[in-house]
């Protein structure tokens, strides 16, 4: 939801950073890889109890992940490969974080399994709808917004680390919200794509 509706408030910062990084000679795919390389350290930092450092690294990775797309648009070099790379490496960062939680908080491993299943289901709907929409030429539906997008995920990941005493309930809340988003996207897809058939 925030990725879709709040992005306009940060576009000037993202675009300024994108231009500065592009002027250094880095392209969007290189920034995507740097964002992921930074982000994978979150899991290790969580495991080592370095929660503040983990939060900083997580958000730096997320910011660079927004900048990479801005660089692609700035250079007029948006590509399908860049999209695949970006989506894949985003998941690598999230997996690192979840693995870090699993080792640091073994008592919530079942919750983390529930979280992971919810994420897989939500992404399956999101990516499948995107692919089918392309074939159906429903361009407006290519990006399905939802209650839980990446920024909301990062906010809750941050809350996990700020309030670790409540992590059991927070991880269940996260999983339920992501599952709700999957259902929300599925219902939207059912209505729109049924009309397109």
Of all residues in the chain, what percent carry a pLDDT higher than 90? Answer: 66
Non-local (6+) Cβ contacts of 193 within 8 A are 129, 132, 133, 136, 138
**Residue 8 pLDDT:** 74
Q: What is the mean pLDDT of the chain?
A: 89
**Ramachandran assignment for 149, one of left (phi > 0), alpha (psi -120 to 50 degrees), beta (any other):** beta
Non-local (6+) Cβ contacts of 170 within 8 A are 156, 159, 160, 163
Residue carrying the six token digits 């592009």: 22
**Residue 139 pLDDT:** 46
Asked if residue 117 has pLDDT above 80, the reply is yes
- CA dist., res. 116 & res. 101, Å (int): 12
| pLDDT class of 135 with cuts at 50, 70, 90 | low
**Residue 197 pLDDT:** 56
| pLDDT class of 78 with cuts at 50, 70, 90 | confident
| pLDDT class of 196 with cuts at 50, 70, 90 | low
Quote the pTM value. Answer: 0.88
Residue carrying the six token digits 């660089």: 71
| pLDDT class of 141 with cuts at 50, 70, 90 | very low
Cβ atoms 173, 156 nearer than 8 A: yes
Identify the sign of the CA torsion 171, 59, 125, 120. negative
**Residue 1 pLDDT:** 67
């Amino acid at each position: 939801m925030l990725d879709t509706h709040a992005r306009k408030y940060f576009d000037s910062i993202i675009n300024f950073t994108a231009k500065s990084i592009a002027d250094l000679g880095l392209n969007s795919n290189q920034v995507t890889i740097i964002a992921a390389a930074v982000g994978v350290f979150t899991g290790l930092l969580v495991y080592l109890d370095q929660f503040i450092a983990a939060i900083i690294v997580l958000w730096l990775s997320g910011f660079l992940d927004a900048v990479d797309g801005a660089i692609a648009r700035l250079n007029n070099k948006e590509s399908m490969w860049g999209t695949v790379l970006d989506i894949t490496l985003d998941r690598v960062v999230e997996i690192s974080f979840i693995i870090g939680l699993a080792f640091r908080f073994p008592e919530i491993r079942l919750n983390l399994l529930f979280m992971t299943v919810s994420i897989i289901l939500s992404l399956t709907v999101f990516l499948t709808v995107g692919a089918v929409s392309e074939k159906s030429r429903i361009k407006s539906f290519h990006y399905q917004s939802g209650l839980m997008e990446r920024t909301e995920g990062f906010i809750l990941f941050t809350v996990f680390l700020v309030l670790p005493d409540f992590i059991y309930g927070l991880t269940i809340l996260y999983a339920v919200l992501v599952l709700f988003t999957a259902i929300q996207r599925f219902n939207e897809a059912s209505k729109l794509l049924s009309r397109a058939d």
